[in-house]
Each structure stands twice: as C-alpha cells, then as structure tokens.
Amino acid sequence: MQEIGGAMARKGYNEGCLAAHALDLIGDRWALLVLRELMLGPKRFGALQAGLPGIATNVLTQRLADLERTGLLTRRTLPPPASVQVYDLTPAGRDTRGIIDALCVWGVRQPGHDPRKFISPTALLLSMAVMVAPPAQGETRVAMVMGPDCFLTRLSPAGFVPRPCADGPPAGTLTLVAPNANAMAATVYGPAPLAQSINEGRVTLDGDPDHAQRFLDAFALRR
C-alpha cells in the first residue's frame, strides 16, 4: 500500500498495460457498480446504498473516496430547497458507460445468470439500453416508476434513453408502475405478455395496453 493525498491507496498492478491501468482505477470490488448507480444522474449516499444492498456502509464510503480521489466522481451540494450533498460522475466517470454496456452484452451470453436476484432500477434501465432492438421509425415515451424511482424513457430509431423524472410522470404519459425493479424486469424481459403481468399484480399501467406492449416487445435478453 502507498499513501496518495493523505489516503492509503491499494497496491496496483505495477504494469504499463493500459488494461491494468484501468483496473487500478476501477478494479476494486463494487467500484464499477458504484459508477453504474450514478450513470443516470447524481444520488445521495442513502440512494446509492439502496441500489447496492450488498455493500457495507464502510466499504461504500471507501469506494466513494477512492473514486473521488481518482477523478471519476465528485461531491456537490444541490441548490435550495434540497440543499443536500450528492455524488455525481465526472466526464471520466461517465466514460465508463461503455465498459458497463460491454459487460452487459458479454454477461448475458454466459451461463448462470439468475434474473430473480436483486436488480436496481438504474441497472435495469442500463441493461435495456443495450438489450433493445430499436424501431425503424417513430418515437415512444414511457414513464417507468419503480418504488420511489421515476424515469422518463424515450424509444426511437436512435435507441433507448432513460432519464430521471424527479416530479413524477408527466401528465398524459404512458406509465408503467412496479413495486420494484425486479417486478419491472420480469415484465420487460419475461415471456409473459403485459396483460398477464398486470393481471398477476407485477405492474400497473396508465395508458394504452397495445402501445405499451409494442414498447416492451423492443427488449429481450439477446444471447
């Protein structure tokens, strides 16, 4: 271990290889998943914990400090009336999106994936962005609400783009609501049609069912 900027940094690989250098920055356990949880926007410490239920509080604190030290995230205070501290990605941190996308594409082809395990809303939406077959034309906007988290999504020939909607779904927007991301993931990727998911209580829908089903048909765990 060596001291950098007053903090103890873990021993790196000590190689000139660019892949090794990248792993020196993001190779610690949980580091890349912390970056994943911030990919759609800044979050408070508690929201990060909610998206990473398996991480210990002290480990999350350390990873945030490490990633801030290496220039991948930053801390800032939201303006009033919120006036709370949040963590946000720097441009270098946002550039790890391609790594996360590539891991999703590679991981879905490997045996052993269990979709019943916990998934965060952000993780689900990021996976949808790479597991999409974009339409040839047209645009669909769908609000996806999972517990306390709301996202406004756009599906178009350019792909699938989600963004947080802090004030709830815009009026008149086709809206899918699930108690958590696992229930939403089962609706998005599962073999059952939307009508069955609604009947079984996994999701509720505000809007046209046929329109919503066409939206969901764009996504599949393509192996």
Can you give the CATH number for the domain in which 94 is found? Answer: 1.10.10.10
**Which single residue is written with the structure tokens 């952000």?**
122
Closest CA to 130 of 39, 32, 26: 39
How sure is the predictor about 80, in pLDDT bands with cuts at 50, 70 and 90? confident
Residue where a domain stops, chosen among 75, 107, 139:
107
What is the per-residue pLDDT for 114?
93
- The share of the chain scoring above pLDDT 90, in percent, equals 88
Tens digit of each residue's pLDDT (9 = 90 or more) over 108-131: 999 999 999 999 999 999 999 999
Q: Which residues pair with 50 in a beta bridge?
A: none
Q: Is residue 53 part of a domain?
A: yes
Tens digit of each residue's pLDDT (9 = 90 or more) over 136-160: 999 999 999 999 999 999 999 999 9
Mean pLDDT of the chain: 93
**Which single residue is written with the structure tokens 């999701």?**
203
Q: Is residue 155 part of a domain?
A: yes
Q: Indicate the helix (H) or strand (E) that contains 2.
A: strand 2-4
Whether 129 and 98 share a structural domain: no
What is the per-residue pLDDT for 223?
63
- What's the CA gap between 166 and 152, in Å, rounded? 10
Tens digit of each residue's pLDDT (9 = 90 or more) over 19-69: 999 999 999 999 999 999 999 999 999 999 999 999 999 999 999 999 999
Q: What range does the domain containing 71 cover? A: 2-107
- What's the CA gap between 23 and 177, in Å, rounded? 38
Closest CA to 216 of 199, 200, 192, 181: 192
Q: Is residue 178 part of a domain?
A: yes
On the 0-12 / 13-18 / 19+ scale of CB atoms within 10 A, 23 is middle
How many structural domains comprise the chain? 2
Residue where a domain stops, chosen among 83, 107, 131:
107
Residue where a domain stops, chosen among 74, 107, 140:
107
Report residue 116 as tokens.
């019943």
Residue ranges of E strands in 90-195: 140-146, 149-156, 159-164, 174-178
- What's the CA gap between 206 and 195, in Å, rounded? 13
Q: Is residue 113 part of a domain?
A: no
* Average pLDDT, integer, range 187-212: 96
How sure is the predictor about 3, in pLDDT bands with cuts at 50, 70 and 90? very low
Whether 29 and 77 share a structural domain: yes
* Average pLDDT, integer, range 92-109: 97
How sure is the predictor about 10, in pLDDT bands with cuts at 50, 70 and 90? low
What is the per-residue pLDDT for 199?
97
Query: Contacts by 42-50 with C-beta closer than 8 Å and gap 24+?
Result: 42/76, 42/78, 42/86, 42/87, 42/88, 42/89, 43/86, 43/87, 44/84, 44/85, 44/86, 44/87, 45/85, 45/87, 48/87, 50/120
Whether 103 and 133 share a structural domain: no
Closest CA to 140 of 40, 63, 216, 30: 216
Q: What is the CATH number of the domain that holds 200?
A: 3.30.1050.10
- What's the CA gap between 126 and 217, in Å, rounded? 17
